[in-house]
Structure 1
Amino acid sequence: MSNTPRPTMKDIARRMNMSVTTISKVINGHADISERTKQEVFRTIEEMGYVQNFMASNLRRTKSNMVALVLSDISTPYFSNVIRSYEMTLSEAGYQILIFGSYENAEKEYNFIRQLSSLQVAGIILDLAKGSKNSIPTLQASGIPYVLSNRYINHDEGPIVAADNKMAGYLATKHLLERKPGRPVLCINGPDDISPTWDRYNGYCRALHEAGVELQPDYVFSDYYGLEDSFLACKEITRLMEPPFSIFCNTDLIAMGILSGLRASGLRVPEDVGVIGVDDIEMAAYLTPSLSTIALPKELIGEQSAKILINLMEGLEVENPICFLPPALIQRETT
């Protein structure tokens, strides 16, 4: 057994160069702490192994008011509005939140779920990591109320709240086909093993089919995640393809990498290449040229996920446990 002393709040404060009061406020869910500070404190708490100590002390009560958010990557722009919506809705109902980032590590996510199950939190909102397989069965066995938010594997796994990503892919591709008729439409997919990627790809395929355009496997590029790898993908695309053509990007971050790659290749957007993303992250409107995108109802996803979980935690009936919320086309300069 290790003789290493357990970290205290003072240790956390010292590591982060913050006051013990600030650390205590974060742990106890005070509303006057910024979201960024909360995330930094929770990350340090997790790294130093303090999480089990402070959670256990908060959960030694007859009815816990702690809700855990286990999220795939809290560093992405997508989650800032979603987390705020989770927190506001849960706080209004008297619940405090704890945030855990799996950073797309399925084993790390599973370990969080096991620990949280043993501590009997009031409920869990889970955004599945890439390749997640064991977390949902563990949750189901624990009896703890949970909601799958943003991602899912199958529709029968429990309550699901997500954007209608099939419609997102469909709207994006249809827009490119209508704006630039006759141009090939390439598809840059995100990580292979998460539901938003394959739902958006299915929407892309549907739009091509409805337009009478044959799917070309060579036009589909798979398993890209962010700026750097999509920038490199753009080099490969411009080597293989002669403009004009259009590109449907699975996320806005992928689209940003593509735009940078096109600029480096001397291609004009949208004259030579039309580009559209998905998410409508805040910076999309401020790029040059500004990015056309499919806006996802992020705040509504957070609010609806929290409301369903609250009903489950309080033993109330949930009328619509599976919700796929509609996206919207935002046309800007890249199309």
Structure 2
Amino acid sequence: MHVRKYVTMRDIAERAGVSVNTVSRVLNNKPDISKETREKILKIAKELGYIKNVTASALRSRQTRIVGVILEDITNLFFAEVMKGIEAAARKQNYQLLLMNTGTDPKKQREAIQTLLERRVEGIVITPSENGLSDLEKLASINVPVVIVGRHFEGLQLDEIHSDEVKGGYLATKHLLSKGRKNILFINSVPENSAARMREEGYRKALREAKVFLPEDYIIVTADPNMEAGYRAVFKAVEKKLPFDGIFCYNDMFAFGAIRALEELGKRVPQDVAVVGYDDVTLSSYYRPSLTTIRINKFGLGFEAFKMLFQRMTGRRKKPKRTIMDVELIVRESA
């Protein structure tokens, strides 16, 4: 195996004819070094291709300036945009990020947490699996700063930030009802997901207010948060012989898949079936028909999540905090 040999401060010191301490002071931008010596050392460091050993510095200072991020799936456009927000806030505070994907698998989540703790991260931003609640309780017990993003847990003494999911579900369903749709399918994620439960609560509230009563079959649950799942859910409803003129989808990915299925079935969107998504990912405005959806400030979710974590890591806040961000209905062509 090829092992790379990094240039050390000793290599620079030997070439410059100065002490290692002098090189260290220059590279760490300390005062009391003459301009001539400073320029000479920096020139040699550049020529030799010196790369600072951050790990060694972290060991000395006991501060890694690294934060772990555990997300469901970075290929999902929602999480990609949340990640952008986390990254922007981290960069402002000169923190690096270590990203792990779990795919909502509790085993992968446990392994990801273990890996991050072994790397001595200073805090963790996580979209957790609700089956992995014991992992979060463990983190709380050993005082690792943690912020839960996009999920809500009753009774857990950890910081969390998520959108107003009940309002989102309510706005989406109310919009479909306002368009004269009565038989509204809800393609939802699994009930272990707090966002799914809260969006369903909003869906039911809007139907109740409109005095529309639908069988439980009208809620189709799928564990995969992708387009394929939305596509299959529509055919499942057809197999069950459910008449429907509107579809509310747990996320935009489901909605894209659902629209594709409707096209194959010869249904026009929105004339025959109106479709509302959730998240307002970038693709939503470019898709045809462009998607009516619930907009979440995804960048803001990530940015605020890191800010909350930073407050906790630096001891500026001791008590757990829950932040709920507003959502809005974006009306486009699909409904």
2: CA distance, partners of 1:109 / 1:9: 32
Name the structure 1 match of 2:188: 189
Asked whether the equivalents of residues 148 and 161 of structure 1 are also in contact (C-alpha less than 8 Å), the reply is: yes
Percent identical among aligned pairs is 29
Asked whether the equivalents of residues 222 and 229 of structure 2 are also in contact (C-alpha less than 8 Å), the reply is: no
Name the structure 1 match of 2:211: 212
Q: Structure 1 residues 210, 155: closer, same or farther in 2, change over 3 A? A: farther
Q: Tell me, what secondary structure is at the counterpart of 2:132?
A: coil
Asked whether the equivalents of residues 183 and 214 of structure 2 are also in contact (C-alpha less than 8 Å), the reply is: no
Name the structure 2 match of 1:268: 268
Q: Structure 1 residues 155, 283: closer, same or farther in 2, change over 3 A? A: farther
2: CA distance, partners of 1:301 / 1:83: 9
Asked whether the equivalents of residues 252 and 280 of structure 1 are also in contact (C-alpha less than 8 Å), the reply is: yes
Instruction: Give 1:136 deviation, angstroms.
Output: 0.2
- Superposed, 1:76-155 pairs within 5 Å as 76-129=76-129, 131-155=131-155
Instruction: Give 1:261 deviation, angstroms.
Output: 0.5
Q: Structure 1 residues 79, 257: closer, same or farther in 2, change over 3 A? A: same
Asked whether the equivalents of residues 166 and 202 of structure 1 are also in contact (C-alpha less than 8 Å), the reply is: yes
Q: Structure 1 residues 176, 231: closer, same or farther in 2, change over 3 A? A: same
Deviates more, 1:271-280 or 1:87-96: 87-96
- Superposed, 1:1-335 pairs within 5 Å as 59-60=58-59, 61-129=61-129, 131-181=131-181, 183-225=182-224, 226-241=226-241, 245-317=245-317, 321-335=321-335
2: CA distance, partners of 1:95 / 1:259: 41
- TM-score where L is the length of structure 2: 0.79
1: CA distance, partners of 2:245 / 2:160: 36
Deviates more, 1:236-245 or 1:296-305: 236-245
- TM-score where L is the length of structure 1: 0.79
Asked whether the equivalents of residues 185 and 244 of structure 2 are also in contact (C-alpha less than 8 Å), the reply is: no
Q: Tell me, what secondary structure is at the counterpart of 1:133?
A: helix
Instruction: Give 1:202 deviation, angstroms.
Output: 0.9
1: CA distance, partners of 2:98 / 2:298: 19
Asked whether the equivalents of residues 71 and 100 of structure 1 are also in contact (C-alpha less than 8 Å), the reply is: yes
Q: Structure 1 residues 274, 55: closer, same or farther in 2, change over 3 A? A: farther
Gaps of 5+ in 1: 11-53
Question: Larger C-alpha radius of gyration, 1 or 2?
Answer: 2
Deviations 1:139-187 (A, max 9, x none): 1122111101112332533110111111111110011011125x21111
Name the structure 2 match of 1:30: none
Asked whether the equivalents of residues 113 and 138 of structure 1 are also in contact (C-alpha less than 8 Å), the reply is: no
Asked whether the equivalents of residues 243 and 272 of structure 1 are also in contact (C-alpha less than 8 Å), the reply is: no
Report the AA paired with residue 162 of structure 1.
H
Asked whether the equivalents of residues 228 and 257 of structure 1 are also in contact (C-alpha less than 8 Å), the reply is: yes
Deviations 1:199-241 (A, max 9, x none): 1111101111122222421211112432223212212323445
Aligned length: 286
Q: Structure 1 residues 142, 59: closer, same or farther in 2, change over 3 A? A: farther
Q: Tell me, what secondary structure is at the counterpart of 1:253?
A: helix
Q: Tell me, what secondary structure is at the counterpart of 1:283?
A: helix
Name the structure 2 match of 1:35: none
2: CA distance, partners of 1:329 / 1:55: 45
2: CA distance, partners of 1:148 / 1:205: 26
Instruction: Give 1:135 deviation, angstroms.
Output: 1.8
Report the AA paired with residue 222 of structure 1.
V
Report the AA paired with residue 108 of structure 2.
K
Q: Structure 1 residues 130, 76: closer, same or farther in 2, change over 3 A? A: farther
Instruction: Give 1:242 deviation, angstroms.
Output: 6.6
Report the AA paired with residue 81 of structure 1.
E
Q: Tell me, what secondary structure is at the counterpart of 1:315?
A: coil
Q: Structure 1 residues 109, 259: closer, same or farther in 2, change over 3 A? A: same
Q: Structure 1 residues 67, 234: closer, same or farther in 2, change over 3 A? A: same
Name the structure 1 match of 2:49: none
Q: Tell me, what secondary structure is at the counterpart of 2:86?
A: helix
2: CA distance, partners of 1:168 / 1:246: 16
Instruction: Give 1:129 deviation, angstroms.
Output: 3.0
Asked whether the equivalents of residues 294 and 328 of structure 2 are also in contact (C-alpha less than 8 Å), the reply is: yes
